[in-house]
Structure formats: C-alpha cells, structure tokens
Structure 1
C-alpha cells in the first residue's frame, strides 16, 4: 500500500512538471502556410435593442509562419441576421454582408504573446449605421456576424471559406454578436 502511494505521488509530480513548459503560444513546426486569427480577449460582445450601450470589444491576435510579418491588412465585414418577427420598422435594412472597415498591418501592435494584436471595437451605432438599421429594427434574438478576411503581403487571402484545422489551434474568422 505504501508503494502505491509513493508511485502515485511520483506520477503526480512528473505530471505537474511536464505541464509547466511555456510553449503554449508557439505555432506547430508543421505550420508553414496560412494564418491564425484568434480572440485573445473579449471585453464585451452584446448589442441591446433599447439603447446604444452595447458593443463588440475584442482583442484579435494574428499569427503566421513569419511571426506576423506576412500581414498586409484585415478587412472587417458585417452581416445582420433578422432572426425574429419584430414589429419595428426595418424597411431598407441591409441583410447581406457589407465591408465595415479595413485595418492595415500598422493597426496591430505586439501583444503579450509576442504576436500582433488589434483591439477591435464595433459600437451599436456602427452596426446599425452600416446595415441601415435603427434600434426599432432590432429585437432580442437578432444577430450581427462580424467576419474577418486577412490579406497577406504576397496577395493570399484567408477567411472562413478557406480555413482548416491546425493541430488544435482554433482560428476565429468570425464572431457572432447577439441582440439582447
């Protein structure tokens, strides 16, 4: 019985030491093509249907095989999804994807993980304006989809339509913001 306790203690110690390596922010060695856009931090991600206080406020972290030097720009697109039968006036509301803005590589700075980071803030007014909408035209349950399209210095473009998995790294090329 004493031997089992000693073996269990040794196994627990080895397990704890093996998890203390700080290589969690390193790209896989096989990562040669493509990019990763991940959300490093979410401050808020909600729109309210009765006031302009809501917003999407996130830190986007960019990664590529050259430690960020391949980034040219990130185009940010917005789509409004009217998922409810509301009584408000939504005549002329744009429900197809529209370009909100472009963030050049100079809009990124080196973050805590030594990768380029951009703080993206999209206000309720931004969402409403770009989709020709009003507070009366949105209802709890509606959604705004924010999609990112990354263009590299060599002209390659990456977004939701041409991504794959890469060893467990998750690349968020879009974010859903719900109306509450």
Structure 2
C-alpha cells in the first residue's frame, strides 16, 4: 500500500512538473501572434439613384486596432464598375486607385477611435470610371474597396480579412461596398375612401 502511495505521488509530481514545462510551449505560440486592425462600418448607403447624379454613396468608418487607433497611417480608396445587366455588351471597369485619406481626414468617434466620413456622388463615380451615358443601367454596381494602412506598413482589406471580420455582427468590417444603381419607385396611386 505504501509503495502504491509513493508511486502515485511520484507520478503526480512528474505530471505537474511536465505540465509546467508545456506552458512554455504555449507562451512561444502566443509570442508569435500579431494583431490586425479593422474599419468598422458605422453607417453606409448601398444605392445610387440613377436619375440623380448628385445622389451619394456615404460611409462612416471607425478604425480600430489594439492600440486604440494610434497604428493608423492612412486609408486608400479603390473603385471599380461591375456590369450586372443582361445586355450583349459586358462592360467592366477594373479596380483602380481613387483617393487616400490621411490621419488628418479622421475625426473622433464616440468610442474615442478615429472616424472617417467618405462621400462619393454618382457623378464623381461616373467621371472616375470614365463611363458614358448609356453604358450603365439599373442594377449595375460601383464597387468601393478600402485599404487600411498601419504605421508598421501592414495593410488590411477585403482580400486578407476573414469572414468573422467582414461579415460578423461585431466587427462589421467588409472593407468593400457594392453600391447598386436603382430607379426610384413610381408614386403609388392614392385611393380616396371618403365618398
């Protein structure tokens, strides 16, 4: 019995000692982890009125990183055009650089983080992509993609963010916005029930 107790104590001691050794391995794993950054969508419009070139795509973005926004260097904006119509002529405009927003373009959100307001009118989008009247119709889309650049040179955008970041309800950081061309609904006919 005494031999069993000694064996059990020795086994317990070795297990505890060996368990402490494995903590060093996990520390090594965590030491190699880097943290990213996001552009959280606060508000965004998703349509342009095809009959009003002054209609605006507007998005409000809150930058968030593990140092409360101090890693922010700049945000780049890219634009492209996607022809969604069922016509024979398929017109696509490849993505290209449109603008850069430096830290001076940012305000402060209610959370104390950098906040960027971006507005692009339909007229500006048409001119930037060099589209002509008749080359775009209802259902076509202008695609706006944002790229977050940090002070250490790392960049984050839709191409290197996972689905938890781009589509999750907490992060709400798609980095990419498809703005659809729409036509306003015709006014509904009013019916007078007081006869």
Aligned partner of 1:3 in structure 2 is none
Give the Å deviation of 1:170. 2.9
1:50-69 alignment to 2 at 5 Å?
50-69=51-70
RMSD: 2.3
Measure how far apart 1:133 and its partner are.
0.8
Once residues 50 and 41 of structure 1 are traced to their aligned partners in structure 2, the CA distance between those partners, rounded to angstroms, is 23
Moved over 4 A (4+): none
Specify which of 94, 116, 119 is matched with residue 118 of structure 1.
116
Report the TM-score, using the length of structure 1 for normalisation: 0.73
Q: How many residues align?
A: 146
Contact 2:41–2:59 (CA under 8 A) maintained in structure 1: yes
Does the CA-based 8 Å contact 1:32-1:65 persist in structure 2? Answer: no
Alignment of 1:3-22 (within 5 A): none
Q: Is the 8 A contact 1:77 1:101 kept in 2?
A: yes
C-alpha contact 1:45 1:55 (8 A) present in aligned 2 = no
Aligned 8 A contact 1:77 1:97 in 2: yes
User: Comparing both structures, which one devotes a greater share of its residues to helix?
Assistant: 2
Tell which structure's C-alpha radius of gyration is larger: 2
TM score, norm. by length of structure 2 = 0.68
Q: Conserved in 2, the CA contact under 8 Å of 1:52 and 1:124? A: yes
Inter-partner Cα distance in structure 2 for 1:172 and 1:82 = 21
Q: Tell me the equivalent position of 2:41.
A: 39
Pick closer, same or farther for the CA change 1:112–1:32 going to 2, 3 Å. farther
SS where residue 130 of structure 1 aligns? helix
Structure 2 stretches lacking a partner, 5+ long: 1-32, 183-195
Equivalent residue number for residue 20 of structure 1: none
